[in-house]
Structure 1
Amino acid sequence: MDPARALRDIAFQLERAGEPTYRVRAFRQAAAVVDRLSEDELASRVSAKSLQALKGIGKATAGVIEDAWHDRTPAYATKLPASTLPDGGALRTALRGDCHTHSDWSDGGSPIAEMAETARELGHEWIVLTDHSPRLTVARGLSAERLRAQMDEVARVNEQLAPFRLLHGIEVDILDDGALDQTEKLLDRLDFVVASVHSKLRMPAREMTPRMLAAVENPHVRVLGHCTGRLVGGRGRPESQFNSEKVFTACRENGVAVEINSRPDRLDPPMRLLRQAVELGCEFAIDSDAHAPGQLDWQVYGCERAEKAGIGPDRIVNTRTADQLLR
């Protein structure tokens, strides 16, 4: 059993279960340490029980490495809670990709290649990398220079993982006046643009509505991300107020999909608005908004909600091939 893979499998399970970031990071950091060891050194340290002398490996991760090296199911893995995720039904089977994901270039926790490899293992044909735009400094939003550099990294990952496709996109901030937080020239070079409101979420509806309409009407925008900005559960945050009929109608008329954000702390839009968007004839993107590999599996929450709203695969853009999506 590959020790590094065993560590990453545990990290995936912890991420999928929404466990604290520090716990997940311990396993991914330990996997990175193992990657740098030769087989001989790893064998020697397992035999001498000196793994914990290496920076980044603690008692729990050393135990996983030793178990895996001896081809035993890691004891730590047997203590993990069983998954409580829904299966996503027929809609999850129909999905070919994910339009909204993040990497460690902004506020995600893993490298681009690791996110793409995990998506491929989950059965996707493609995903869109959508790290944040520059104004969202708290999320290490990408400057124009860093976004251009990321294009080269995306090209390298595509060479490694073909025929799987990593599409290069952005989750661009909708500024106060509805403009997008990146230059037109750079947006034109990207494969895909998700536009989201991240600031002044309590703006009055009379100001928020034209702000969102301006973004939806921008020809670069393909998806309206987490439209109400709400957070549910312990990090509760109320919905932004806007004229949803006008915004969803504009989405339909401009070919912009309404995102069904699958994060358990968002589940955005609420069901009443999701049903309204269905009635108004919108298309949808069921997205994980994943910030770690294990979170890519959260799409099942969005599939469950889409099914409840009566949305069929023909109205979900993720069911299309990468070429169809780009057209």
Structure 2
Amino acid sequence: MSSSPSPRDPVADLRRIAFLLERSLQSSYKVKAFRGASTAIAVLPAGRLEEAVARNELTALKGVGDSTAKVITASLRGEEPEYLARLEREVGGPLVEGGDTLRAALRGDLHCHSDWSDGGSPIEDMAVTALELGHEYTALTDHSPRLTVARGLTAERLRRQLDVVARLNEQLAPFRLLTGIEVDILDDGSLDQEEDLLAELDVVVASVHSKLQMEPAAMTRRMVAAVSNPHVDILGHCTGRYVTTNTRTGKPRAESRFDAEKVFSACVEHGVAVEINSRPERLDPPRRLLRQAVEAGCIFSVDTDAHAPGQLDWQPYGCARGEECGVTADRVVSAWALDDLLAWTADHTSRPA
């Protein structure tokens, strides 16, 4: 006598769909629909979801629409939802060829955003997804206050965020969500946050977000001044370019111009890592500059700059480019054990034994 298939987990199926949509940079509207439905049904009393399916009333539940209702129904029947199966076929495979050795060496990601600034998901969702991907640690680096378009964090909001991170770490140990910031490099090379507060953080990523096309000599002075600040650990997306359409402006963006030899020499002198930004719209630095940074003796951090949970899976893009340009795991700080990483962020001289 045959038995009916065991039910799947509709919450997990909805989350997986959202993850794959984010991973492939598809519509944020679709992502919100599937993540919203997963959150809505996760808190329902036992049996309420099955009851709604039996009565054909799924779409009457808050947060559930036609597409998400089809996924839920299939999951409860023990079937792989058609929407999920299609996404797994189309975008669920490897993102890029190469970079496997470096990717296997990585232990964490030192640049991601939450809905406290311009990310699309709560801090907990970002942390849990990083844990599910096998990370030992991830740095939460929301924007600093001057970047108002990204809802940058004032000192007061950042201090509140530190309390949230501390509570979350109690729940997720031994995984560690590192405190951090992506701090704006201002026109004169100073940093857009209180120095005392920067000193409290585990990881500081410094990036240029304004006046990206300023005169090269001035941009060079600006970047050198920033990486000379003892609180800066990582120089983020150094050219600021967009190789594909910028989702906010609808246009690609040219590289900033600066004296790369001087900037990378300053990074070496002050023990600051050059970020290999894995966002497919950025892929920054360009290969020629990445090779130059390798030759200069720089250390690196392979980061996703994720603004959604599914984007935390973008590290293969950076790893492939890094391996192609001669980056080895011993020079990648996000491949170091947590204690070694934190010893380095504390003084920029410590290295793994």
Q: Shift of the alpha carbon at 1:86?
A: 2.1
Residue matched to 1:107: 118
Q: Shift of the alpha carbon at 1:38?
A: 1.1
Instruction: Check if 1:10 corresponds to 2:26.
Output: no
Task: Tell me the distance in 1 between the aligned counterparts of 2:204 and 2:125.
Answer: 22
Task: Tell me the distance in 2 between the aligned counterparts of 1:67 and 1:140.
Answer: 39
**Alignment map for 1:220-259 (pairs within 5 Å):** 220-235=231-246, 236-259=252-275
How many residues align? The count is: 327
For the residue of structure 2 that corresponds to 1:258, the secondary structure is strand
Report sequence identity in percent.
62
Q: Which runs of 5+ in 1 are unaligned?
A: none
Instruction: Check if 1:85 corresponds to 2:95.
Output: yes
Residue matched to 1:319: 335
**Alignment map for 1:1-327 (pairs within 5 Å):** 1-80=8-87, 81-82=90-91, 83-86=93-96, 88-235=99-246, 236-327=252-343
For the residue of structure 2 that corresponds to 1:79, the secondary structure is helix
Quote the RMSD (CA, aligned, Å): 1.0
Task: Tell me the distance in 1 between the aligned counterparts of 2:69 and 2:167.
Answer: 32
Which residue identity lines up with residue 74 of structure 2 in the other structure?
Answer: D
- 1:211-244 alpha-carbon deviations (Å, 9 max, x no partner): 1111000000000000000001233100001111
For the residue of structure 1 that corresponds to 2:127, the secondary structure is helix
Which residue identity lines up with residue 303 of structure 1 in the other structure?
Answer: C
- 1:91-150 alpha-carbon deviations (Å, 9 max, x no partner): 100000001011111111111111111111111100100000011111111111110110
Which residue identity lines up with residue 165 of structure 2 in the other structure?
Answer: V
For the residue of structure 1 that corresponds to 2:314, the secondary structure is helix
Q: Which runs of 5+ in 2 are unaligned?
A: 1-7, 247-251, 344-353
Q: TM-score, normalised by structure 1?
A: 0.98
- 1:138-169 alpha-carbon deviations (Å, 9 max, x no partner): 11111111101101110111011100011000
Task: Tell me the distance in 1 between the aligned counterparts of 2:56 and 2:163.
Answer: 41
Task: Tell me the distance in 2 between the aligned counterparts of 1:183 and 1:102.
Answer: 20
Q: Shift of the alpha carbon at 1:84?
A: 4.9
Which residue identity lines up with residue 282 of structure 2 in the other structure?
Answer: R
Q: Shift of the alpha carbon at 1:36?
A: 2.2
Which residue identity lines up with residue 10 of structure 2 in the other structure?
Answer: P
